Structure 1
């Protein structure tokens, strides 16, 4: 039984491959980083990063990849999820999460980055190709940002169909002391793996609510 939740990232990726990638291997990682997805999986043939950390990764912006249109069947995407210009980027006792991961200057630019990247992946993927999008919601400056909702809505408008969603549960989270003292919202202990399928037709939200295109067959 494949479940929609897990404490293990590799288990989720393996389950997505089992359900949606017949070849048994993800073809492209658009933001490879240190390759954390591949401790238990084969490296994808195409590995990109804006700042490669090893010689087997090619330098490229995920919004403009050197790949032919409709040339791949699967892409995985693990982009930044933080946005701030605050003191936490420079102060010694600032937010350790912001210092550890890539950060965009504001939410608008971060969300535009998501949209532009998905449009590029839509171009590259063949019909019925699969995009695996890892994302995380957050609270910033007292405001709730449900990023996975934004991503799904944008994906649908581009032409993707959300075929599945997996929830990765965390046993612990990096937390600054000031966050504990000033907590106003529940601390996020989960992230998402969205499974988005390229449809040969534009998918409307109303169609999905009614069972999808072609009587639910997409």
Structure 2
């Protein structure tokens, strides 16, 4: 039997990285201002042009270090509708969307309209689409979904390829029907060409109160979601897309103005 010449032994594979428990988790207890900077740090590179198109009182940004991103803040109070943005095609690196996410916030009649607390301002701006009818012409929960998806279409226009879309939402019960809003948004945005890159669950620290409860039918919602999407370039199937870093800006690319 002839001998087979063997080459030098292959070096052992060495795993990179280090053991740590200091990682960003998918579920958090607390408020938006605590979680939002962690989402940005994980998914949006420093120096990125970020359009927050439902800025409101700027709660999300309270703990984001100034100057880390180029922030373009707008909402209906500043004359900008998230469904008709003034930015050029492909000019934005990341976009933040947090419209009113309960159907009670969009009811055209003030007497039946909800929205106390942190969403009172956005309720005022977006109630009945600002012009006597619900966004997209839908009613009840459909008006909420129409608003998200119409804004998603506009986000796709202004985001550059592989750009990041951060969406805040909450499930709800509307007209005695369980509406899993976060699932509907993920499905709807996939059809528009967005890959669902990440999901965060935010649990409120206090127990919600209920007035005039006769009989509980559904679990009371005490959590909301931050959904992180990535714009899939045209012609590529969302089903085959994989998470990737946002590529460097091409020379001469518009900067979000």
* Displaced runs of 4 or more, over 3 A: 94-101, 173-176, 201-205
Structure 2 CA distance for partners of 1:24 and 1:192, relative to 1, 3 Å? farther
Q: What is residue 73 of structure 2 aligned with on the other side?
A: 47
How far is the alpha carbon of 1:95 from its aligned partner? Answer: 5.9
> Is the Cα–Cα contact under 8 Å of residues 95 and 176 in structure 1 kept in the other structure?
no
CA 1:47–1:95 in structure 2 vs 1: closer, same or farther (change >3 Å)? closer
Q: Please tell me whether residue 11 in structure 1 is matched to residue 34 in structure 2.
A: yes
User: Residue in 2 aligned with 1:182?
Assistant: 215
Question: Which is richer in strand?
Answer: 1
CA contact (8 A) 1:6 1:12 kept: yes
Q: Are 1:27 and 1:46, in contact at CA under 8 Å, matched by a contact in 2?
A: yes
- Contact preservation (8 Å) 1:132, 1:196: yes
Q: Which runs of 5+ in 2 are unaligned?
A: 1-22, 129-138, 245-257
CA shift digits 1:50-88 (9 cap, x unpaired): 12xxxxxx32111001111100101111111121487x9
> In the alignment, which residue of structure 1 is the partner of 2:176?
142
* Secondary structure at 2:216 match in 1: coil
Q: 1:167 to 1:130 in 2, by over 3 A?
A: same
Query: Per the alignment, in what secondary structure is the counterpart of residue 27 of structure 1?
Result: strand
Task: Report the alpha carbon displacement of residue 49 of structure 1 after superposing the two structures with TM.
Answer: 1.1
CA contact (8 A) 2:167 2:226 kept: yes
RMSD (Å) for aligned C-alpha atoms? 2.8
Question: SS of the counterpart of 1:17?
Answer: helix
Q: Any conservation in 1 of the 2:196–2:227 contact (CA below 8 Å)? A: yes
What is the TM-score with the length of structure 1 in the denominator?
A: 0.81
Q: How many residues matched?
A: 202
Aligned partner of 1:160 among 194, 201, 223: 194
Task: Report which stretch shifted further, 105-114 or 94-103.
Answer: 94-103
- Contact 1:161-1:197 at 8 Å conserved across structures: yes
Partner of 1:75: 95
Instruction: Tell me how far 1:97 sits from its aligned partner.
Output: 4.7
Residues 32, 5 of structure 1: alpha-carbon distance in 2 compared, 3 angstrom cutoff: same
- In structure 2, C-alpha distance between the alignment counterparts of 1:203 and 1:36, rounded to whole Å: 35
Please identify the structure whose Cα radius of gyration is greater: 2
Counterpart of 1:60 in structure 2 is 80
Which 10-residue stretch deviates more, 155-164 or 137-146?
137-146
Q: What do residues 100-120 of structure 1 show as CA deviations (whole Å, max 9, x unaligned)? A: 462555222221111110000
Deviates more, 1:94-103 or 1:192-201: 94-103
1:118 aligned residue: 152
TM-score by length of 2: 0.69
In terms of mean alpha carbon deviation, does 11-20 or 126-135 score higher?
11-20
